[in-house]
Each structure stands twice: as structure tokens, then as C-alpha cells.
Amino acid sequence: MTTPRKNSNISTGAAILILIFALLFFVLAIRFFYIQATGKADGEALAEIAQKQHTRTSKIEGQRGTIYDRNGEAIAQDTGAYTVVAILKESQSEDKDHPQHVVDPEKTAEKLAPLLKMDESKIDSMLTRGIKRGAFQVELGPGGRDIDNVLKQKIEKLNLPGITFLRDSKRFYPNGVFASSILGYAQKDDTGKIVGKMGIEKVFDKQLSEEDGYVKYEAAKNGIKLPDPKESIVAPKNGDSVTLTIDEKIQTFLEDAMTAAAKEYKPEELMATVVNPKTGEILAMSNRPSFDPNIRDITSYRNPFVENSYELGSTMKIFTLAAAIDAGVYNGEDRYQSGSYKVTKNSVPINDHNGGVGWGAITFNEGIQRSSNVAVAILANEKLGTDRLYKYLDKFGFMDKTGIDLPNEASSKLVTKYPRDRVTTAFGQASAFTPIQEIQAATAIANDGKMMKPYVIKQVVDETNKKTIKKTKPTVVGQPISKKAANETLDILETVVSSDDGTGKPYAIEGYDVAGKTGTAQIPGPNGGYLHGHGKNFISFMGFAPAKDPKLLVYVAVKNPTLTPQETGTAPLTAVFNPVMKNSLQYLGVEPEKTDEDGKKTEEKKVDSEITLKSYVNESVDSAVKDLKQKGLVPVVIGKGDTVESQSPTSDTIVTGQRVFIKTNGKATMPDLTGFSHRDVIRFSEFVNVRPSALENGYVVSQSIKAGDPLKAGTYLKVELETPKEFSSTLNKLKETEKSDSDSKKDDKQLD
């Protein structure tokens, strides 16, 4: 048997293969040792690549800065919100009896549409299109974005398959229509970041804006966090807080009055502000039309106090009068012929407001009381001279912007071409100025001649380190007149309200001396000339109280109100001025004047409006309640224990009449919230950690958790609020019911 002969070709091929494998092994070995030594492959660090593959980053959201009123009440803040999401993928439903995806788009749309205030067909279309294109889920916007917890619960009760929610945040304005032209609003941009779009929110957007933080950690391939990972945490930076000069209570007085007046008289514009003339602080400011920043039901909006200029009417007579007194050319007992006056031989006559009839030969003091155009024209043209008048107007700040810390301030519009225009400017026609310029000028009348710059920003604080970044102090911007001239002007303006012939008589307030000046200006028409007709005017009132030493300056103006033939332009103004001035003075502790047995006024009394609150923690509840009541505060006891466990506010400076919440030891119980303002409800909810329903302006008349019931953290609290007028009516009905029940019991006893 012969042995097979080896094929030389096979041997050669095997040798080549061995050589190739040996070469590859050698190359891989060199590559391995290189990577081992350098830790790099293709110039990239392998450790870094591995870290990227196994490192997860989780965002820690920062919060936009809160805007507070002067007493630390939040009036704009970030709050929790939800976005409605529809799951469309059928694969999400493992159990057919309990589907986790949208089964019936048409029925789902039908149920959601009324709650989301969206068109049913639009929701149906969104769902159907999403299913057709194989989308996993769709967000139901815009109605499904930024919804609150109350609406979320209503949707959950529908038990709609596939409808779920994403946790989110939104900008929340707890007071609704509240200083809206000052606050403005903020909303999410395309990236989901909340950005200021108007007012303080826009002007201070950079300071209010937050910076998100993050946490980095190592995770397995499936994303599960590894034990003992290397974590890197960068804390978020919350936005700075901004505190305004606005007082929440005074602003509420103003908003309520403005809403009622706007509803009744339907004006083209209505505006009012409350100012501390000693400092220039804006305590309240409101306009109609207005808007709710939570809803943002506007396309554009202007703050007329700052952004519009007007022919202001006879309130400008205040400054002509003050200039004449300061210049030493005013004698109130001098007489002049009222009715009509010509500046030059050929000029159109200046007439008094009663058709140029006048009141015969009267004193200048009476002329001011009756708001005589002729009296002021003579003062401007003959006594002062228009050159000197204009120098005084410049001193009063009418030629320049005030520089108030609000956006888009307009400039004056001076008309000086003809002598008659220069004279009519003295009583508020021809030239146009902004209301904020007039308010600034009026502070000099109420403040011994010192003119104060108006402002709304009290301070800006970096919430990370509690460092004050900006603090505004009262600023004197001039002294256009002497103290003596300012006080004499106030004395005369007081007679405008107190005199039987005074045009300001409707603005008298029982218990308080009011000084002030009315104004009625014609409105320029679109095609030249002025508008004509009943109510087709710009009507205003500038009032100071108490007259001898004004604590408040209140300015109200209305444009084109709807009036009956029997109503005058004062009707919508008194509906705002009188209750706002009276309520604000009482809130600030300025007591009404009293008379003695002979009918003479006693000296004005002033109670302290600010109280330094101490801590009552660990003290007995009875002693804390007694002490709070003695200080003019309203204690609200939460619980049935005998020792104070916590309180809100803590030790701080607060104002009289404010509620102080006291939580006792033991189980917390629900207090009676009847009469609480919407702001009080929010403060209470934050203190005891319950979740309040969406709140409107007004006062509580009912609550979902009964007084005395146990109170648990996280519980939902629903309250019903009524406007002050409705609430007053409700209280009267309750009192009548109580009286009826009491009388009934008396009758029962008599029958027995």
C-alpha cells in the first residue's frame, strides 16, 4: 500500500495563513499594549467614552423669583401645574379589560372639551392624527397646558383610558386682576422657560430668571443608578425676589371699586392710583380695561398712567394756583369778572364751564372753588405771566419724564405757538402731560413743597445668599414752591371740597377733611377739534387727605364714561375715590376726626399702623391670643392644645388688623375661614400645608373642610368667595337670620 503524497500547495497555503494570523496577533498585541498604556483609541480617551455611556444627568429645576407686595405677600410666583397627555400606543395596554391607551378618540374628545375649554373636533383631530402616524402620545394643548390641581382632579374622575398628566410649573398670580399693568405677566417660551412679557415681569426678567441645576451619576446600561456612584451635583439658582411698594390690601380696595365702577359706567378708560406723597411710593395702581395675568386675555395693553399723555383738565389749576401763591401775586380776596376772557383782542374767548355765563364779579378764592377757567387764565396771563408760569411748570417736572421704574414712559406734548395756548395750558387744555407727571408734581403740594419721585420697586434680593441687590429710597427731585405756598394751596383746595359752591363737594368723606381739585378736559377728535356730547370728556379728581397733613394722595380719571342724562362725570369718580380713600386711611390707622359736645373738631388721632410681632412659640395659647388682640391683630387658632407650637407670620413687622395663625400642640383642626380674603386663604394654606382650590377676588363664604374637623397635610381645600358687595349682603342675611332665630326663641319662652 502506497503512502499519499503531500500536496505542496496545501503546505504553502497553511504557511501563509499561519504567517497572516501571527501578524494579526502581533498587531493586536501592540494595539492592546498601546491602549493599555495610553488609555486612548483613535485619539479619544476610552475612559471618557465609557463615562459618557454610563453617565446620566438629571435636571434640578430652579424657580423664577417671587414678586412680593410691600408687606411680603406673594403676588406673583411659580407654582405646580400639569399638562394633559393622551397615550395612543395600543401596546401600552397589557390587560384589555383595563386599557392604558385612548380607545375611543371621539368619546375622549367629547368628555374633555368642556373641561379644557377646547373645541371637541380639535381634540378629536389631534388624537386621530396621532394614532394614524403611530405616535406614542400627544399633548392636548393649549387648553391642556398649565392646568391646576382642581381641574386635574375633575379630569381624573372621568376615568378616560390613556389620559394622564405630566408634572410642570407655571407662573401664578394669586390675586387675579391685581395691579396687572404694573406686574405684567410671564409665560413659557418655545423652550419651556418662563419669560417676562410685560410690566415688572419683563423689566426685571433678568433678575427674576432662574438657572437650573443638575445631578450627574453613573448608571448601568439599563439606566438604573449604580450603588455608591460618583455623583456630581450643581445646585439650581433661583431667581431674585422683587418687592414692590404696592400694598396688597389698598390695591384690593382699589380693584374692587374699579371693577364696580367699570361695570356700571362702561368707560373707554378708567384709571386710579394711591400714593404716599411723603415718599413717592405707589401703594396701589389700577386701570380698566385690565386683565388677569393667569389668563392673559389680551392682545396688547398699555399703562395709561405712564404711557399716555392727556390734556389733563382743571386738575392742572392746582399748579398754576401754587405758582401764583409762591410768586406772591395771588390774593384770594381780589375780585374779577367771571364768565369770559380774551387773551388777545382777536383770540377766541376763554369761557367758564357754565357756557361762559359765569357768576358775576367774584373773588379768586371762589373762582378756584367753582373751577373758573377765567380766574386761572387771569392768574396765568396777567398776574404771573406765561413765561414765569412755564418756568414753574418746569420746576414741577412737567417738561421731563419722571423716570419711574416702569417701562415705556411717554413725554410731554407742549403747545406754545399762540398766546392763547400758553394760557389754556394753565388750566389743562392745549398741552398734554402724563398722569404720572401730575402725580409727581402733586407730591410737592402735600409734602411742604418737596417733590418726590414716584416709584414701585422697593427692593431686589438675591435669594441664594439673601443679599439685597437694589433698595430704593425716597428721592426728592426738586422744591418748586415753598412750604408756606404748599400749605396755603392745600387750604384753598380744602375749600373746593368743603364749600357749598365747590366742584369737589361730592368727594367729601365723613370724618376726614379732604383737599382736592376736579378736572374736566375736552378730548381731541380724530379729525381735529374736540369731541362733543354728554360724557365725552376726560374727567378727573386729585385728592389729598387728611387735608392739613396728607397721608395719601388719590388720583382718579375716567375717559368717555357712559352716563345717563341725569348723571355727571363725578359719578364714576366718586364710586372709586370715596371708598378707596376712606378704607385706606382707616387701614393705615388714621382715625376719623371726632367732634366735642359743642360740635368742634377734636385733634386728629393716629394709631400705629405697624406692629413688631414677637414669637409666641412655647407660650400658652390664651396669653398669645390676649396679647395679639391687644395689639389690634386677629389671632386664628389651629388646634385645641394649650401651647403655641408654631405661628405665621413669625417675628416680623406687620400692620394692624392682619391675621396671625397660631398652631397649637396636638392635632391640628380646621378654623372657620368665613371672611378670609383670598390672600388670607393662601397664607393659611401655605402654613398648614393644604392645597387650596383656584381662588378669585373676594371673601370666603363657604369651605369644604368644616370648622373643627381634623386637618391633615396635603388635603385639598375648596372655598367659595364672594365680592365685597356680595359678602356684605350675605353677612346682612346671616344677621337677619340670627335675629329671627333669637326673636323666635324669645317668643317660645313667652309662650312657655
- CA count, 13 A, side-chain hemisphere, 156: 11
Looking at residue 678, its amino acid is H
Residues 567, 579: Cα–Cα separation, whole Å: 19
Let me know if 314 is a catalytic residue. yes
Residues 645, 663: Cα–Cα separation, whole Å: 6
The angle at the Cα of 315, spanning 264 to 453, to the nearest 5 degrees, equals 100
DSSP 641: -
Residues 707, 82: Cα–Cα separation, whole Å: 30
Residue 182: CB partners within 8 Å, gap ≥ 6?
Answer: 199, 200, 244, 246, 282, 285, 303, 406, 456
Residues in the chain: 752
DSSP helix/strand/coil, 171: strand
Residue 473: count of CB within 10 angstroms of its CB? 8
C-beta separation of 65 from 239 below 8 A: yes
Q: What region does 396 belong to: left with phi over 0, alpha with psi -120 to 50, or beta?
A: alpha
DSSP helix/strand/coil, 666: coil
What dihedral do alpha carbons 251, 252, 256, 261 form, nearest 10°?
Answer: -10
Residues 386, 155: Cα–Cα separation, whole Å: 69
HEC string for 523-589: CECCCCCECCCCCCEEEEEEEEECCCCCCEEEEEEEECCCCCCCCCCHHHHHHHHHHHHHHHHHHCC
Q: What angle separates helix 248-265 from helix 724-751, to the nearest 10 degrees?
A: 90
Widest Cα–Cα separation across the chain: 160
Is the sign of the CA dihedral 722, 727, 731, 736 positive or negative? Answer: negative
Write down the catalytic residue from 209, 290, 314, 372: 314
C-alpha cell of residue 54: 454610563
Annotated active-site positions, please?
A: 314
